[in-house]
Amino acid sequence: MGEGVLLVFHLPSGSLPRRHQSFRQRLYGGGTTSWGGKYQYHRKGVLDEVPQVRLYWGVIIVRTEASWNGGCEARARR
């Protein structure tokens, strides 16, 4: 079993629900539809290609080598 980094994050209290939704989509990615559901696709997020385990909302374990060796660091710069 490898080592990992525990990431814990939260948005400021009083943040709008739309801001929470936008943050989650940018971080995790998510399904998106257009033309009333006619077209569906997955919008990529920062953590899409990084091995991770979601423990709870705002709590993630990321593999140590993926966390700093170009994994999420390279994707976060975009």
- Per DSSP (E only), the strands in 1-78 are 4-8, 30-34, 39-43, 52-56, 59-63
CA dist 62 → 39, 53, 67 (Å): 32, 7, 6
First to last CA, the chain: 31
Quick one: what percent of the chain has pLDDT higher than 70? Answer: 82
Q: Which residue has the tokens 């990084």?
A: 50
Range of the domain at 17: 4-76
Quick one: what percent of the chain has pLDDT higher than 90? Answer: 21
Q: How confident is the model at residue 1 (pLDDT cuts 50, 70, 90)?
A: low
Type of residue numbered 20: H
CB of 73 within 8 A of CB of 61?
A: no
What digits encode the pLDDT tens for the residues 29-61?
A: 888 888 888 999 889 998 888 888 889 888 999
Domain total of the chain: 1
Q: How far apart are CA 78 and CA 40, in angstroms?
A: 24
